Amino acid sequence: MTFTRRTFLGAAAALPLLPRRGHAAPPLRVTATTGMIADTARNVAGGLAEVTALMGPGVDPHGYRQTRSDIVTLTRGDVALRNGLNLEAQLEDLFETLSSRVPVVPVAESVPAEDILHNTIYEGRPDPHVWMVPRHWRHAVEATRDALTGLRPDQAETFADNTDAYLAELAGLQSYAAEVLATVPEPARVLVTAHDAFAYFGAEYGFEVLGIQGISTESEAGLQRIAMLVDTLVTRGIGAVFVESSVSDRNVRALIEGAASRGADVRIGGELFSDAMGQPGTYEGTWIGMIDHNVTTICNALGGTAPDRGMNGKLNAGI
């Protein structure tokens, strides 16, 4: 739907203030844009918050536009957690208006400026995909903790303990990724994906990243770009490319067909989670599981050695 201030205020006015009974504080109502942020909030809050994600599995945040139910959910919440760094580009006006009623926290903008990557093709815009590297995402975890603590200072100890436990998991994932990805032969460390969501991954673990589209899926992949990538696949003997769960595989299959027409055997190395996690109720439907899946899939497809079931032995096994 097209967002206007009148639309927002109309939805907000329709919402009665719910009475709070008893002495125990009710759970915080937390709204997150992406699944990655929602999962982080659940880990930090534990049972002290009800967390709702606006965008589910397979949803592309770059082009996502709010629905009327989103406006209702956001307005009824105690806090809205977003990525920022221009990820939710279509929701900027909505969040600007919402911020006069509800705290809006861009958790990814807590990553230090010196660690933020920029793409010169897009006039120096920041690359928003910081969740691809655990040591960067820890800043978003801490920003989430601080946001919840600001709302419920009496529960600060619980939020801090939960955060410390979760950060320990992040540290383990960071170590696992570095260890297994180092087993990929250096000439094979080329990651070809549907769009350029893996620049942080590449910079962290020493991979050349070639996205068919730019850092936003709103950009178009031209024939010249596809032809250049086909030539790269053929001349460098790259045997695997990757599709993404939230992006059409049309352009990736065009690469494979183009390479085949020139006698090269290129296969799909697997499906990666880029801008959205896996299905709820699965290990891949958590941020830890999402990154574990990506790291393990990339490693094994490109000639490295990683356990088929990943760091925790949970891949493809539900939770």
Distance from C-alpha of 174 to C-alpha of 144, rounded to nearest angstrom: 20
pLDDT band at 12 (very low <50, low <70, confident <90, very high): very low
Helices then strands, each counted (H, E), the chain: 10, 10
pTM: 0.87
Distance from C-alpha of 293 to C-alpha of 96, rounded to nearest angstrom: 35
The enclosing H or E element of 115 equals none
Residue scoring higher pLDDT (125 or 203)? 203
| Cα dihedral value 104, 101, 46, 314, nearest 10 | -50
pLDDT in tens, 244-270: 876 667 778 888 888 889 888 888 889
Say what percent of the chain tops pLDDT 90.
66
